[in-house]
Amino acid sequence: MKKLRVLLVDDEIMIREGFKRLFDWEAHDCEVVGEAADGMEALAQIDTLRPDIVIMDINIPIMSGLKVIQLSRIKHPQIAYVIVSGYDDFSYCQQALRLQITDYILKPVNYEEFGTCIDNLKISLFEQRIATAEEPKEQEERVIMGITRYLQEHLAEEVSLSILAEEFHLNPQYISQLFKNEIGVGFLAYLTNFRMEKAKKLLLTTSFSVAEIAEQAGYGDYRVFTKAFKKAEGITPSQYRREFLDGGEIRE
């Protein structure tokens, strides 16, 4: 998998330097290709550099980070955005979700959690590539796309490397390595991310109980699901649903 190109946007130079020096971009198959200190500079850098990922503060001069994202999405819909902000306000999170932002991280940044965010983002970009790509040419691409499609169709069932190996007549270790090579994360990280995204969508768009959602997301025991969800999102499924639906008006 090619390295993902990252643009850092924050008006505080120490924050940008912290991201560059304290996070191991190389270990996550990424490289920082540019930075910006205000909204107008960010728009120009996005147009020039065409990054895969933009790490964006909300409160930046000239134009807010959310406005930059809203405008740049018109020309560059494929770019992924991660908000890094000092505002612990769910109304900001709501607006970020409506702009289809991958994640919302609070300062000071926990770089271990940020690494998980980047890995999840790589999964999202891979899924986007599947949705828009024409017929793949390479054998390994055909295999990994077939496997991920199988996971989508059988998410509520038991899924493991051994089950996939039997289904696709491949070695489990080979499948495991495919996930690392083609997506950039391990099989379990991919499956967990996919289950969490399915669960979040059901929590916000249906009235199913947590137990019903757990089952549809592939967890036979809703208590295991609740524990996994809280580990991934920081809050329980019920809190996630309640905070989003009752979080207040969106800020302009």
Amino acid letter for position 138: E
The answer to whether residue 165 scores a pLDDT higher than 90 is: yes
Chain position carrying tokens 């499956």: 191
- What gap in Å lies between CA 136 and CA 39, rounded to an integer? 37
Calculate what percentage of the chain has a pLDDT beyond 70: 87
Q: What's the maximum distance between 2 C-alpha atoms anywhere in the chain?
A: 56
pLDDT digits (tens, 9 = 90+) for 6-38: 999 999 999 999 999 999 999 999 999 999 999
**Quick one: 19 exposed, middle or buried, by C-beta within 10 A (0-12, 13-18, 19+)?**
buried
- φ, ψ of residue 187 to 5 degrees: the values are -60, -45
The strand pairing partners of 103, in sequence order, are: 82
pLDDT digits (tens, 9 = 90+) for 203-212: 988 899 999 9
